[in-house]
Amino acid sequence: MVDDCQDYGETSKVDLWFIGHRLHSLVYAERGDALRVISLRKANKREVKAYAESLGA
């Protein structure tokens, strides 16, 4: 998903990833062949619910 809340001069994306058994939110920007991590944190309840709903749970 693209993060378009504010214009930072680059396109940032948001993905949800599991680290172990816990869901995390990763915000990053692509720069050429590299990824620049902007934020990595534990997913909040709203994000966990949206993730579960996207899987049909």
Beta bridge partners, 27, equal: 14, 39
**Residue range 21-37, pLDDT digits in tens:** 999 999 999 888 999 99
Which pTM value belongs to this model?
0.72
Which pLDDT belongs to residue 29? 92
Query: Rounded to whole angstroms, how far apart are CA atoms 21 and 30?
Result: 26
- Evaluate if residue 42 carries a pLDDT over 80: yes
Q: Name the percent of the chain lying above pLDDT 90.
A: 68
Q: What is the residue whose two structure tokens read 């996207």?
A: 54
pLDDT at 1: 60
Rounded Cα gap, residues 52 and 32, in angstroms: 32
Q: Give mean pLDDT, residues 45-52.
A: 95
Buried b (16+ CB within 10 A) or exposed e, 20-53: eeebbbbbbbeeeeeeeeeeeeebeeebeeeeee
